[in-house]
Each structure stands twice: as C-alpha cells, then as structure tokens.
Structure 1
Amino acid sequence: MIVCLKSTLTVSIRAICIALFAWQFYLMTQNFQEFNVRKEKTHYIPNEIELPEIRIKVPYQFALDPVILQTKYKSRFDEVCRQFSVKNDCDGHLTNPLIFSKYFGPYLRLSDIANHSYAPEMFIRRLKMAGSKEDPLKTGKCKLISEASSWCLVLILRCLDSSGLPLKVSRSEAIVSNANYLISFKLNATVMLLNLIYPEKALVEDDSLYAYSSLTPGKQISHGIGFTKHTENLLPSPYKTMCKDYNRRQTFEDCLNANSIDQTGLLFPETTVSLEKYIQTSEIRFNAMFNENNGTLLEIYKQCQSLVIQPMCSSVQYSFKMSKTVEDVSKGEESLVLHLKVSSESDSLIESVAEFPLHDYLILSGSLISSWFGISIMGQLLVASNLFCLKAARKSTAVSENQNESQVNSD
C-alpha cells in the first residue's frame, strides 16, 4: 500500500513539475520570439564636433558658362526666359532663377554640364577652419566636388579624416580661437540652396532640409549656421525595427536612374548623379518632370520606393538654423559668406534596445531548468515526498507490530 502510494505520488509530482516547467518555458520562449524593442533617447553635448557634408545647389544659369546657353541652347533659353522673366534681356539675371532652372535644366546634357560648368574652386576658393591656419582644401582634409541634378549644379564640400569618417573639430578650440566658428568660407554664387548631411548616411527625404539664400546688389550677406546632429541606431531583423545596413538614398536614386534610362533613355528628375559616371554618354540628360511621360516615371518611383521601405540601421539627420547679417559693400564686391558655428543646443542619440535579448533568454532558460530539475523545486518536493512516505511507512510498521504483539498475548 505504502509502496504504491509512494510511486503514485512521485509520478504525480514529476508530471506536475514537468507540465509547469513546459508552460513557463513556452511563455518565456514566446516572449523572446516577439523580438520587441524599446527606444532610449540620450541628449548630449559633444566635446568634438563632426563636420557634416555641406551640399550647395546653384541654379544652372549661374553655374554654367553663358556662352553655351546662348549658342547651343539659345532657342530653349530664350523660350524659358520669355516665359518666366519680366526682363527683355535674357543675358541678365532672371527674376525666377529656381523656376527657370526647373524648366530649362532637364534639356542640358551631362557632357555639356561637365565641360561648361564653372569649376568648384570658382565658387569656394578658400576655407578657414578652427584651430588651423592652413586651408583644409590645400592640405586635403576637405574636398570640393560637383555633381549634377536636373535643375542645378550641386557643390559638395566633404571633410574626412584618414579613416574616412567626418573630420572632428574641438568645441573649445572653435570657441576660443575662431569666434565660435567651426568652418567659414565665401561662396561666389548669386543664388544657392544649402543642406547638411552625414557622409554615406543621407536620408531619402533630405530635400526638405534645404535653406535658400540669394545675393543682393551692393550687399555682403553673412549666414551663421548652427546645427545639431540627430542619430538613430536600430536593430536588424528579426527585431521589429527591421532595419537594413545600406545607403538608402544611393540605393533609391540608383534604382530610379537605372529604370528611367532603361525605359525612357533619360535620367530620373530630382536625382543627383556624378558627372564622371555619365560624361562618356554625350546625349544623356535628365527627364523633365512636367511632361507626357510622367505616368512611366510614377511607376518607376513606386517600384524603387518599395526597395527602400526598410529604415537604415544607422541614420543621421541634421537640424540647422541659418541666421542672416547684411553689410553694405562697393558695387561688384557682393558676396555670400557662410559660417558653420558651434551650437549651444545638444545633439541626440536614439538607440533601439531589445526588451528581451538573447543572453537574458539563455540565462533565464538555464535558471528555469535548474530550478525545476536541479536541487530546487522538484528536488525538494521529491525529498518531501520521500520523507512523508518514510514517516507513513514507519507508522504503518509500528501499527502492524502492535497488532502482532496483541495477538500473541491473547493466545
């Protein structure tokens, strides 16, 4: 009887413990496989400030040799000029340079842009950087290149260190030695749009961040540009942020141009391309945004947009404010001066952190197994069961002995 009870109790304890363990392990595994994340935001003021990549757009009528416009493209130039300018003289500056470029720019061939646009050094001749008396353009710390878009020449000022990362400038050094300016230069352009991006980590939507400025006769316009950096680091699949380690903008624009050239023979409007990449193709140019073929362009856009749905695992975006100071100067000495200055506002870092990381899952799994099948829960219950059965067995033996002794005495 006691042996049967002991066996039944032991089997029952083991079955209940195994069932509870399996249920707890299932819940824990299910929680782990949800791959939830939480975002932690940190505000900080860096001791060393990374210099962003500066992109400046200059409309083509202010970036190209006017001779090519008035000879090879004279008919188109005059047509656009008459449509958007209140002046009869098309050789002068137009009243709507940005609108003019949007309608005139797509007709320019990349080979003509490469051969007849002003050299980048004509727009920015010298840089001044905090903590250095040398021109970083001459030392090679900064490089100035030009690319083409459908309606303007894009000047790119990129300052990198030997590792290919953005060049850093000491905050205290900039404040003490260079009147709070990180980098300063004079821009020899009549009209410009400016944007700040992180090299190789530009977002597709960066065009919304461009700031506009134009030259005024008899004035020197100085812009102080204070900026803050906002970094977001996400987790890749299988975590719910589902990020991808790629250059989202470059992937998007390469897809647009490849499909546009294949289907229309022209580059996609509103993209930016390297002049060296297409200079050998003498007839290549951008597609006009407002034409009868916009249905094809829309389909191309939707197709390529589906390739860049996943966010970048590490993305950087800059927010900046551009102040304006105007000074009187002699005629012919008008200029735009740009100063990237130290901002008093803090940068931000958003990081996605796994709510239930793998190492926690492994630790808890081991703890759960040892709790149920080691020296803890099941072990203690089995020991208690054995003690109970042992006590019951002793009690039963004592009763049996008493009954035998009573029977002997009666005999």
Structure 2
Amino acid sequence: MILFLKSTLAVSIRAICIAIFAWQFYLLTQNYQEFNVRKEVTHYIPDEIEFPEIRIKIPYQFALDPVILQTKYKSQFDEVCSDLSTKKECNGHLTYPLIFSKSFGPYLRLSDIDDHSYAPEMFMARIFTAGPKVDPLKTGECKLISEASSSCLVLILRCLDSSSLPLKLSRVDAVVNNANHLFGFPLKAKAMLLNLVYPGKAAVEDDSLYVYSSLTPGKQVTHGIHFTKHTENLLPSPHKTMCKDYNRRQTFEDCLNSNSSDQTGLLFPGTTVSLEKYKQTNEIRFNAMFRKDNGTLCEIYKRCRSLVTQPMCSSVQYSFKMSKTIEDVAKGEEKLIFHFSVSSEPDSLTESKPEFPLSDYIILSGSLISTWFGISIIGQLLVASDLFCLAVERKKTAVSENQNEAVEPEVINQ
C-alpha cells in the first residue's frame, strides 16, 4: 500500500511539473512570436557630411528653347497663357510660372523635351566645395542628369564616390576654410523648386519638401540652406515594422507609368521619368491632372499604392531651412546662388530593435528547461568540489595509515 502511494505521488508530481513547464514555455514562446520592436533614437554630429542628391524642378517655359514653343506648341502655349491672364495677354507664364507649367506641360512630348531642353551645364556651370578647390563636376564625382515630369524639367545633381555611396565632405574643412559652407553653386534659372533626397532611399511623400524660388529683375538672390539628415532603420518580417528592402518611390512611379501607358497611352501625371527610357515610345507624353475623365487614373493610383504600403527597411529624409538675401545687380546679371552650410543641429538615427530577441529566447528557454528537468551547473560544480576534496582527504588518510603501519614493526623489533 505504501509502495503504491509512493508511486502514485511520484507520478502526480511529475505530471504537475510537466504541466507547469509546458504552460510557462508556451507563454515564453508566445511572447517571442509577437515580434514586438522598440525604437532607439540617437542624435549625433557627424565629422563627415554626406552630399545629398539635389533635385531641382525648372518650369518648362524656362527650360526649353523658345523656338519650339513659338512654332510647334504655339497654339497650346497661347491658349494656356490667355486662360491664366485676366487681361487676355500672354504673360501667364511669367505671372504664374508653376500654374502655367502644370497646364502646359502635358502637351509636350518627351522627345521634344529631350531634343529642345537646355543642357544641364547651362543651368549649373560649376560647384564650389569646402577644402580643396576642385570642382566635382570636372572630376566626375558629381553628375547632372535631366529627367522629365508632367510640369517641369527635373535637374538632378548626384555626387557619388568610387563605391557608389554619397560623396562625403569634411565638417572641419567647411568650418575652417569656407565660412561654414559645405558646397554651393550658381543656378541660371528664372524659377525653380528644390528638394533634397538620399540616392535610392527617397520616400513617396518627398514632393512635399520642395521649396520655391524665382528671380527678380535687377536682383541677385542668394539662398543659405542648412540641412540635417534623419535616418530610420526598420526590421523586416516577421517583426511588426514589416519593412521591405526596396526603392519605394521608384517602385511606385514605375507601377503608375506602366499601367497608365498601357491603359491610356500616356504617362501618369506627377511622376518623374528618364528621358532615355520613354522618349522613343510612340512620342509619348504625360496625362493631364485637370481632366475630368480621370477615373482610370484614380484606379491606377489606388492599385499601385497598395504595392508600396510596406515601409523601406532603410530610409532617409532631410529637413532643411532656406534663407534669402537679395542684392542689386546690373540688368542682365540676375542669378540665383545657393550656399549649403554646416548645420548646428545634430543628425538623427532611429533604429528598430526587437523587444525580445532570439538570443534572449534561447537563454530563457534553456533556463526554464534546466529549472524543471536539468541539473544546476553550480550544484554540479559544488558536488564535484566536494568529491575532489573527499578524494584528497581519503588519500591523505591512506598515506598516514601506511606510515603508521611501517613504524609499528620497527618498534616491535626494538
């Protein structure tokens, strides 16, 4: 009876312990599989500042050879001008350059934009940088690229090193040698919109960051720009940030243009495209935003938007402030000058990190298993220590007994 009771009690204890272990292990695993993340924000002042990609939008009426406007597109040009002018005079392209450009741009074919737009070097002849007086446009470290949008010619200044990473400028050189100016350039444009992006990491919403400037007759306008860089690194699936390693903006615009050209024969308004890619495609041009029959475009937008709901695993945005200084100059010498300066505000890095990483899960799982089924490592070491000491004591005892046995015969013989 006692043997049966003892056996039953042992089985019950084992069953209860296994049940408690299973419940605790389930809670531990469930907590790990939630894949929660925490964000850590680091503010820092970099010794070397990366050269951002500068995108400048120039309205087409100021970016194209006027001959093409006066001949091939004269009727459309005059129509838009008269609609914008209250005096029925064709001066709308000067009074409302951005509104005019949005109305007139969709008439232009990409082949004409490519053939008749001014060369990029005519807008930006050179770049001044801190430190060595070497123009990165001459060395090939910086390149000017022209692309097209539905309203403006997009001039892209992209500066990369030999590893295809953004060119870095020394903060020390800027502070010591160039009055805090990292780089600068004169721009020969009557009106423009400017934005800063990181190559390959631009977000879809970057268009909201454009700033506007225009020339005034008899004036030289100098802009001082202070910018800071904000980097965000997220974790991919299965973590809750669910980021994706892709160029979100390029994927979005490629989807818009592919579907729009297939269904309407025109490119999607508001996107930016390479002239080389589309200029030979049946004299293609952009669709107009203001058309009433834009239901197809809305459906395309919704469909493509659903493809880019996941954030990028690594994204960069710039925040910047632009000040303006105006000086009197002789007629015909008007120009825009841009100075990009060292900012006193720190850059920021936001990193997502798992709240419950795999290493912690493995350690806690091992501890849990050891608690219920394993043997304490400390306990084993203590037992080994006791056994070692016991063996040493027994050995000493045996040696002393042998010595006593050897001494006793000698005493007897004497």
Q: TM-score, normalised by structure 2?
A: 0.89
Counterpart of 1:5 in structure 2 is 5
The CA distance in 2 between the partners of 1:172 and 1:69, in whole Å, is 48
Corresponding letter in the other structure for 1:242: M
Check conservation: 1:194, 1:212, Cα contact below 8 A. Answer: yes
The CA distance in 2 between the partners of 1:186 and 1:237, in whole Å, is 46
Identical positions, percent: 79
The CA distance in 1 between the partners of 2:144 and 2:301, in whole Å, is 30
- Deviation of residue 90 (structure 1)? 3.9
3-state DSSP class of the match of 1:223?
Answer: strand
3-state DSSP class of the match of 2:254?
Answer: helix
1:77 aligns with 2:77: yes
Counterpart of 2:142 in structure 1 is 142
1:267 aligns with 2:267: yes
After TM superposition, the structure 1 = structure 2 runs for residues 100-111 of structure 1, keeping only pairs within 5 Å, are 100-111=100-111
Corresponding letter in the other structure for 1:255: C
- Deviation of residue 136 (structure 1)? 0.3
Change (3 A) 1:248 1:101: same
Residue segments in structure 2 that go unaligned for 5+ positions in a row: 381-414
Counterpart of 1:182 in structure 2 is 182
- Deviation of residue 376 (structure 1)? 4.7
- Deviation of residue 85 (structure 1)? 3.3
Counterpart of 1:391 in structure 2 is none
Counterpart of 1:114 in structure 2 is 114
1:126 aligns with 2:126: yes
Counterpart of 1:19 in structure 2 is 19
Check conservation: 2:82, 2:89, Cα contact below 8 A. Answer: no
After TM superposition, the structure 1 = structure 2 runs for residues 288-303 of structure 1, keeping only pairs within 5 Å, are 288-303=288-303
Deviates more, 1:85-94 or 1:276-285: 85-94
- Deviation of residue 17 (structure 1)? 1.2
Counterpart of 1:208 in structure 2 is 208
3-state DSSP class of the match of 1:161?
Answer: coil
The CA distance in 2 between the partners of 1:38 and 1:134, in whole Å, is 44
- Deviation of residue 286 (structure 1)? 0.1
Deviations 1:175-228 (A, max 9, x none): 111111111100000000000000000000011000000001111100011011
After TM superposition, the structure 1 = structure 2 runs for residues 242-257 of structure 1, keeping only pairs within 5 Å, are 242-257=242-257
Deviations 1:341-360 (A, max 9, x none): 11000111111110111111
Q: TM-score, normalised by structure 1?
A: 0.90
Corresponding letter in the other structure for 1:268: F
The CA distance in 2 between the partners of 1:243 and 1:374, in whole Å, is 40
Check conservation: 1:222, 1:336, Cα contact below 8 A. Answer: yes
- Deviation of residue 2 (structure 1)? 3.6
- Deviation of residue 7 (structure 1)? 1.6
Change (3 A) 1:161 1:76: same
Deviates more, 1:365-374 or 1:104-113: 365-374
- Deviation of residue 8 (structure 1)? 2.2
The CA distance in 1 between the partners of 2:375 and 2:3, in whole Å, is 24
- Deviation of residue 6 (structure 1)? 2.7
1:41 aligns with 2:25: no
Counterpart of 1:322 in structure 2 is 322
Deviates more, 1:349-358 or 1:252-261: 349-358
Counterpart of 1:199 in structure 2 is 199
Check conservation: 2:81, 2:93, Cα contact below 8 A. Answer: no
The CA distance in 1 between the partners of 2:117 and 2:52, in whole Å, is 25
Corresponding letter in the other structure for 1:281: T
After TM superposition, the structure 1 = structure 2 runs for residues 363-382 of structure 1, keeping only pairs within 5 Å, are 363-376=363-376
Counterpart of 1:54 in structure 2 is 54
Counterpart of 2:227 in structure 1 is 227
Aligned-residue RMSD, C-alpha: 1.7
- Deviation of residue 92 (structure 1)? 9.2
Counterpart of 2:170 in structure 1 is 170
The CA distance in 2 between the partners of 1:91 and 1:117, in whole Å, is 21
Corresponding letter in the other structure for 2:267: L
Check conservation: 1:136, 1:142, Cα contact below 8 A. Answer: yes
3-state DSSP class of the match of 2:95?
Answer: coil
- Deviation of residue 3 (structure 1)? 2.5
The CA distance in 1 between the partners of 2:16 and 2:93, in whole Å, is 88
Residue segments in structure 1 that go unaligned for 5+ positions in a row: 381-411
Corresponding letter in the other structure for 1:43: H
3-state DSSP class of the match of 2:82?
Answer: helix
Check conservation: 1:111, 1:282, Cα contact below 8 A. Answer: no
Deviations 1:18-41 (A, max 9, x none): 111101000000101111111111
Check conservation: 1:86, 1:95, Cα contact below 8 A. Answer: no
Number of equivalences:
379
- Deviation of residue 68 (structure 1)? 0.1
The CA distance in 1 between the partners of 2:71 and 2:187, in whole Å, is 28
Change (3 A) 1:205 1:199: same
The CA distance in 1 between the partners of 2:93 and 2:245, in whole Å, is 45
3-state DSSP class of the match of 2:57?
Answer: strand
Counterpart of 2:278 in structure 1 is 278
3-state DSSP class of the match of 1:11?
Answer: helix
